[in-house]
Structure 1
Amino acid sequence: MRTERVRIEGTDFLTTLTLGGPVGLLALHGGVEGGTAELATEVAARTGATLLTFTQPTGPPAHIPSIRMSACAPLRTFLSHATLTISLHGHNRGATSRTIYVGGSNRPAARVLAVALADSAFTPVTSLADIPPPLRGLHPQNPVNQTRLGGVQLELPVLARTTHPAPTAPEIPPEEVVEGIVAGVGVLMGRESGR
C-alpha cells in the first residue's frame, strides 16, 4: 500500500494505492461522496483487487469531475496496472434513493455487477437510456474507461454507501452491498484470470 499527497486544480488529495489483481476498484471522490472510499477498500481487501482511493484531508470538500482527475501519478499507475476498472461514485437523487446506476463503457461487466447486486435492497439499472446522462460514465476521458477493457461506473445512493444517516469517519458501507460487489468482482477476476 502506498499513500501519496497530490494536488489537482488547487485541491489537496491523499491517495491510497494498493496493486493487486487485474480488476481495479477506484474511488475518485472519497472525500466528497461519503462511503465510496470505504466501500472500495473493503471490496478490494476481500477480493485482492487493485485499489485506488482519493480523500481530502483538509479544506472544504471539492468535487472535481472525473474527466479532469487523470493527470496524477497514482492514477496513471492504477490505469496501467488494472485491466478493468470499477469506479464507485455517489448520487443524491431523492426520487431514486434505492437505485444503483450501473454505467461505464464495459456493458458485459456492468451486467455482471448488476446481477450480483440484484438480491440486495437496491435496484441496479443497466439500461443506458434509463441512467441520467451525467451518471452514465461514458466519456472517454473518464478514468473508468481508460483501462484496457474499460470499466463499470457504479453510482450509489447514500443508503448503499453508508449505514449511517449522518456522516461518520470512517463511513461503514452496508454489508449486502459489499457482498454484492465482492461477488461481481469475483466473477470478473475469474474471467480475467482465464484470459
Structure 2
Amino acid sequence: MHTERVTIEGAVFLTTLHLAGPVGLLALHGGVEGGTAELAREVASRTGATLLTFTQPLGPPTHIPSIRMSPCTPLTTFLTHTALTISLHGHNRRSTPRTIYAGGSNRPAARILATALSHWAPAFVPITTLSDIPHPLRGLHPDNPVNQTRNGGVQLELPVRARTSHPVPTDPEVPPREVVDGITAGVRTLMEREGVGW
C-alpha cells in the first residue's frame, strides 16, 4: 500500500494505491462523495483487485470532474497496471434515490455488475441502458480515467443509501453490506472472465 500527496487544480489529495489484480477499484472523489473510498477499499480487500482512492484531508472538499483529474503518478500507475476499471461515484438525485447507474465504456462489464447488484442488493435498481442514464452520469468521455485502461471500465453512480449506512456525514463512512456483497460478486465474476472480452 502506497500513499502519496498530489495537487490537482490547487486541491491537495491524499492518494492510496495498492497494485494487485487486473480489475481496479477507483474512487476519485472519496470524501466528497461519501462512502465511495470506503466501498472501493472493502471490495478490493475481498477480491484482490487493484485499488486507488483519492481523499482530501485538508480544507473543504473540492469536486473536480473526472475528466479533469490530472494524470498524476498514482493514477498513471493504476491505469497502466489494470486491465479494467470500476470507478465508484455518488449521485444525489432526489428523483432516483434507489437507482444505481452503470455507465462507462465497457458495456458487458456494466451488465455483469448490474446483475450481481440486482441479486445481492435488491433494494436498489441498477440501470445499464445508456439512454436511461442522465447524460452527466454516463461516464463515456475519453478523458475520463474509467475509460483509459485497456479494456475500458464501468462507472457506478451510487445514491447516498447505496454508499453509506449513515445519510448524515460520519467518520468513517460505512458502506451497506448488501452493496459491498453485490459489487464484490460482480468483480469476482469479472476477474474470473479476464481475457475473454468481459
- The separation in 1 between residues aligned to 2:111 and 2:62, in whole angstroms, is 31
Show the counterpart of 2:104.
104
* Selected match of 1:190 from 154, 170, 192: 192
Contact (CA 8 Å) 1:70, 1:76: kept in 2 or not?
A: no
**Structure 1: which 5+ runs fail to align?**
none
Query: Pairwise mapping of residues 44-55 of structure 1 onto structure 2 (< 5 A)?
Result: 44-55=44-55
Query: Pairwise mapping of residues 1-195 of structure 1 onto structure 2 (< 5 A)?
Result: 1-119=1-119, 120=121, 121-192=123-194
CA separation of 1:50 and 1:180: change in aligned 2, threshold 3 A: same
Letter in 1 for 2:140: L
Deviation string for 1:98-157 (max 9, x for gaps)? Answer: 000000000000000000000311000000000000000000000000000000000000
In structure 2, the residue corresponding to 1:111 is in which secondary structure? Answer: helix
- The separation in 1 between residues aligned to 2:142 and 2:70, in whole angstroms, is 11
Letter in 1 for 2:182: G
Contact (CA 8 Å) 2:87, 2:154: kept in 1 or not?
A: yes
In structure 2, the residue corresponding to 1:14 is in which secondary structure? Answer: strand
- The separation in 2 between residues aligned to 1:31 and 1:9, in whole angstroms, is 17
**Structure 2: which 5+ runs fail to align?**
none
In structure 2, the residue corresponding to 1:96 is in which secondary structure? Answer: coil
Contact (CA 8 Å) 2:8, 2:70: kept in 1 or not?
A: no
Contact (CA 8 Å) 2:166, 2:173: kept in 1 or not?
A: yes
RMSD: 1.0
Contact (CA 8 Å) 1:70, 1:143: kept in 2 or not?
A: no
> Could you tell which deviates more after superposition, 132-141 or 69-78?
69-78
Q: CA deviation at 1:194?
A: 6.6
Q: CA deviation at 1:70?
A: 3.4
- The separation in 1 between residues aligned to 2:134 and 2:33, in whole angstroms, is 18
State, as a whole percentage, how many aligned pairs show the same letter.
76
Deviation string for 1:144-187 (max 9, x for gaps)? Answer: 00000000000000000000121111100000000000000000
TM-score (ref. length: structure 2): 0.97
| Structure 1 runs (4+) greater than 6 angstroms displaced | none
- The separation in 2 between residues aligned to 1:165 and 1:25, in whole angstroms, is 23
